[in-house]
Amino acid sequence: MIKSTDETILVITPEPTSIMDAYSLIKIMDDNSFRKKINLVVNQTTSEQEGDNVSQRFETVVKKFLDFKIRTIGYVPYDIKVIRAVKSKKPFTILYPRSKVSRSVADIADILLRNKEEKKSSGVAGFFNKLAGIFST
């Protein structure tokens, strides 16, 4: 599925297991000659500083050992409101639109939309053509 996309959003948490799993995924992608754009989001951060530290260390390790450039597009803070929203079966962005977690998701969406406007996208048809190409080989 990843090969069928123009770019990837990799979501990690500050836990070591998440970071190691993400590194392993990028290694597999690299071993299979998949060199498309990877955007990084650090989820469940306790502070912006933690998000910066995690993303900078991860970017540095991936660049050093895999020679792969990753772009951090944002951080999503840990917020109890997300748990409350899950329990109420409603999106936290609707229940708590002015919360820090909702604003961070909106900021990430803005970054992605701005990037999409700057480049020509192959759209849904391109996605399915790439997907079909993977299964035909």
Which tens digit of pLDDT belongs to each residue from 17-71?
999 999 999 999 888 888 788 999 999 999 999 999 999 999 999 999 998 889 9
Burial class (CB in 10 A: 0-12, 13-18, 19+), 16: exposed
Is 0.85 topped by the overall pTM? no
In whole angstroms, what separates CA 35 from the centre of its chain?
Answer: 16
- Residues of the chain with pLDDT > 90, as a percent, come to 66
Homologous superfamily of domain range 2-136: P-loop containing nucleotide triphosphate hydrolases (3.40.50.300)
pLDDT tens digits along 97-113 = 999 999 999 999 999 98
Residue type (1 letter), 75: Y
Strands 37-45 and 7-12: parallel
Which two three-digit tokens encode residue 106? Answer: 């909106």
